[in-house]
Amino acid sequence: MIAGIVDLLDVVEGSRSFIEKAKGRNLPNVRFYHALFEEFNPRRNYYDAVFAMWVLEHVQDPAQVLRIAHLALKPDGLLFVVVPNANALSRQLARHMGLIEDLKSLTENDLRHGHRRVYDRVSLNRELTQAGFTLVSQGGLMLKPFADFQMEQLIRQRILEEPQLEGLWSLGFEYPDLCGSLYAICSPSQV
């Protein structure tokens, strides 16, 4: 989607198979770099935007990844971050059902997907500001009342259809702290 609206898109990906699959889409304006995010060495002040969508929960050192993003961005550039929300309604339900000890506990699904952590707004904002970013906008993506597998079953059974999904998406803007994911848009602070 991003490739369709930019002149040039650099993609950093640790999985060769993901890169090969993406290359099959024949996107002439996309360059692929096979590297872990922590190992990527971008040009300084080069990018208009950096997208770290569902990245920080996977890496060993999120602060290091954010420092790399900060160095890579032009002074007027923007960082777009999305992370899983520790306070999602689905996690709160799981805690009350005794399935997780606390909201930052990792579930089997989190571990299966390689998550090392989940975030709440305070922890996300702290990491972003400590890395030298200024928040421009923040919010939540899609109110998520149930676990992923339950949401998928409800969709498959057509209990949740487009109107309900659109409603959950819209509700996410009203109740960001109950959403499945948090987002932040940041600019690099001038040092």
64 occurs within a structural domain: yes
The conformation of residue 153, written as its DSSP 8-state character, comes to: H
68 occurs within a structural domain: yes
Low-confidence ranges of the chain (pLDDT < 50): none
Task: Work out whether the CA dihedral 12, 44, 139, 121 comes out positive or negative.
Answer: positive
Number of compact structural domains in the chain? 1
Q: Which pLDDT value is given to residue 190?
A: 66
Q: Which pLDDT value is given to residue 191?
A: 53
Question: Which single residue is written with the structure tokens 């932040």?
Answer: 184
The CB-side HSE value for 107 (13 A sphere, CA atoms) comes to 19
Dist CA 113 CA 109 (whole Å) = 6
113 occurs within a structural domain: yes
CATH number, position 68: 3.40.50.150
Domain encompassing residue 105: 36-188
16 occurs within a structural domain: no
18 occurs within a structural domain: no
Rg (CA), the chain: 18
Torsion-angle region of 175 (φ positive above 0: left; ψ -120 to 50: alpha; else: beta): beta
Q: Which of 57, 56, 58 is nearest to 68 (CA)?
A: 56
Tens of pLDDT, residue by residue over 103-125, are 999 988 899 999 999 999 999 99
Q: Which pLDDT value is given to residue 52?
A: 96
Tens of pLDDT, residue by residue over 122-142, are 999 999 999 999 999 999 999
4 occurs within a structural domain: no
23 occurs within a structural domain: no
E strand or H helix at 78: strand 73-84
Q: Which pLDDT value is given to residue 1?
A: 86
71 occurs within a structural domain: yes
